[in-house]
Each structure stands twice: as structure tokens, then as C-alpha cells.
Structure 1
Amino acid sequence: MPKTDAGTHPAPRIGPKVSSPELFSRVSGAANRLIGHLQRTQVDDGSWSVPYTGPNFLLPLYVITTHLTRRPIPQAERPRFVAGLLRPQLPDGSIGLHEESTQGAVFTSSISYAALRLLGENPGRPELEKMRGWIHASGTPVKAAAWGKFILALLNLYPWSGVTPVPPELYLLDWIRASRLSAVQSAIDHPFLRSLKGQPPLRGRRW
């Protein structure tokens, strides 16, 4: 997409076909302000560089995945990953579920701690000591969400006997089909569902 010049190409007037001039003015004005903002923030190659922020579990999951797939993060890049993992740490040592969280979650704290150790961070580092202390005081990973237990089990840090089983056959139920799930959940589930298309019965299969 070519970059546009907000100074020479004014935002077009757009708006719904409504009978109320006031409503039309408000809607088209908002749309024009949005277009103007996009023009101002567009970079030279025509794209928009916007960080995907929010959930604090994405970065540790990436680090853990690189370990599980035996594609380690280059040593020179690790300090930036460490900084990113520690950035959302709360004063009590925990990591919240979201960047705006004011309370920690055992799920994100546990996998963040695991990711930091995989990156080679010393367990005696003050930030890690504080995080580990909060995890123990909050019930240990036993209190983590099922997803967290599953991830730690993949790392052999948690017993599989403690992971709540989720039979893949559940995806075959009509009322749980992907179209009824949230956008994020659908994005996760669709590849899995497509991989099962035309396959034999699921029980006993490895995936």
C-alpha cells in the first residue's frame, strides 16, 4: 500500500446515508479523524508499525516454544527478551494476566519465571527471587490455569497427572463449534480443526 501524504491528500468525506444532518456530521467527522490519524502514522513503506500489547503470556510462550522446538534465541537477543519479560512485573514480584493488571496471576507468573530461566537468568536475581516467592506464596503452579499447567508439563516441570484432560472429541460437538467461539479462540482452534478433517477417529491419535 503506497504511503499517502496527509498534507496534500485531505481525508475523504464519508458517512452513512441518514436523515439526520447532525448524526451524519458526527459520524463522518469521526471517520475523517480516524483516516487522518492513519495517514499521520503510516510509515514510508506503506504499513503501520503497531505493537501487539496486552496479554502478558504471549512473550513467555514464544520463549518456551523456541526451547521446545530446539530453536534457541540467539544470545545477543536474549537481554531484550529478558527486559520484555520483566517489564510488566508488579511491585509484589508477580506478573499480571494483562499489561494493565494490578494483580498478579499464577499462570503468567509461572510461565514467565520458566521463560526467564530458559533464557539463562540466575535464580538469585532479585526480580526472579521475588517472582518465585510470590508464586510459592500464592499456591505454587497448582493454582495456575489449566493452560499454564499444560505448558509447564511440556517442560517436565509439572506432572501430567495434574493436568486436566481435554478430550479432542469435544471439538466435534455442535454447540462448541468454532463459529460460536471468540475471535481469538477461533484463531487458535481453526488450525487444529482443519488438521482433523478427513482423519480417522481421534482416540489414541498423536497430534
Structure 2
Amino acid sequence: MSSGQDFDPASMPRTDPSRWRLRSGEEGGRHVWVYLKTEEEAARWPQSVEDRYWMGLSTDAPELPKATSPLQAARNGWSFYKMLQSSDGHWAGEYGGPMFLLPGLIIAMYVTKTPIPDEWRIEILRYLANRANKQDGGWGIHIEGVSTVFGTALNYVVCRILGMDPEHPVAAKARACLHKLGGATGIPSWGKTWLALLNCYDWEGLNPVPPELW
């Protein structure tokens, strides 16, 4: 197995991007990514331009004439943008900046024994491998942030819950980063709460938070 220094996140397992569909507008505004596991399902529910765009695939959008004026440039932009409109009329958008939201979801699913789909597991591990800071292997509070105890401890836990071997280059490098930062005992209140739910941190160690601050 590659060392943490030369590990390429592109080598992580991945799902078939042509099998993902974005369902929106049917559940009170929620965005739900659905993975179609058979050719028959995929044939019955073709990918939309919106799906392909968010999956990073070719949209097969028609070639637009080169703009020769600001107005034409704006019209070209609108011609493309309207193809990304969801079926219920809104425009979806990625919310992938914070690095402390995903751990809450996965830890909550784990402690409530809610099954985590295999396709989620594959893509979450691939996402975290690509979002780890190149220098030290940790994670910050957001995707552009320096590594912190908060981001590194929680996302390391996610990797382990989802089955990553402790000696996998991503896990080993993240763990070394966490030790260098002083270990998980220095994690802020939200992190202490999630770790306590896993029985990895004593409830007596949590900082009391006045309810009015929430």
C-alpha cells in the first residue's frame, strides 16, 4: 500500500457517475441523490443535463455562438443556466464547504443502526481522501481551512466507521496529524458531543452550553 506521502486519491474506489440521479421537489425541498444499480433502472430514468453537470460529466449541451457583445454573453449564460433548472423550478447548488456536517450524519446513522448504503460509503471515503490537506493529511473546519482537531478527529472517525483500514495511507496520515495537534481531547464542544455519543469521550468532559446560545 502506498505511503501517505505518495498516495493518490484518484486510486480510491468510485461508483459509476452515470448511475446517479438527483431527485428534488418531492420531499419538501430536499435534494436526494439516488444511485441506480441496474441497467433497467438507468434506462427507465435517464440522466438529465442537471444530473450530468453536478456529476462532472459532459452535459451534451449544444454549442453556443461566440458572444460578440455583453448582452449576447448574458444570453448565452442564460441559455446554459436554464438547462440546469430542476424539475420543480429551482436551481440546485452544492453545499460542500463545511467539513463538520458529514461526520454528524454518519455518526448519527451509526449509533441509530441506520444502514449506510455501500455507494455512499465508497463516495464519502473518496471525497474525504480528496479533501484531506495535502501537507499533513488532516481536515479543517471547511474545505479551504488548515487542519484542526475538530475537522481531523471527526472525519477520521467517519473513515473508520465506513470501514477504512487504520493503516490505509489516508487514515494513517490523518491520525499522525491528529496526534501532532495534541489528540482528540482538545476537540471543541460539538466534537466532544459526537465522540461521547460513540462512547469515545466521557460525557463528564463536555463543556456545558447555555441553551440560549444555541
User: Structure 1, unaligned stretches of length 5 or more?
Assistant: 2-31, 177-188, 190-207
Aligned to 2:147: 104
Superposition CA RMSD, Å: 3.1
Identity of aligned residues (%): 36
Aligned to 1:52: 95
- Decide whether aligned partners of structure 1 residues 75 and 33 sit closer, same or farther in structure 2, where only a CA change above 3 A counts: closer
CA deviation map 1:59-113 (0-9, x unaligned): 1211111112210202343111211222210021110111122x10110110101
- AA matched with 1:129: A
Aligned pair partner of 1:149 in 184, 189, 192: 192
Does the Cα contact within 8 Å between 1:95 and 1:104 map onto a contact in 2?
yes
Distance in 1 of aligned mates of 2:129 and 2:201: 23
Moved over 6 A (4+): 32-37
TM-score normalised to the size of structure 1?
Answer: 0.60
- The higher relative CO (CA closer than 8 Å, separation ≥ 6) is in 2
TM-score normalised to the size of structure 2?
Answer: 0.59
Partner of 2:131, secondary structure, is: coil
Q: Does 1:94 align with 2:149?
A: no
Q: Does 1:75 align with 2:118?
A: yes
Q: What is the CA distance between 1:151 and its match in structure 2?
A: 0.9
Deviates more, 1:39-48 or 1:72-81: 39-48
Count residues in correspondence: 146
Structure holding more strand per residue: 2
Aligned to 1:65: 108
Distance in 2 of aligned mates of 1:40 and 1:72: 34
User: Structure 2, unaligned stretches of length 5 or more?
Assistant: 1-24, 26-74
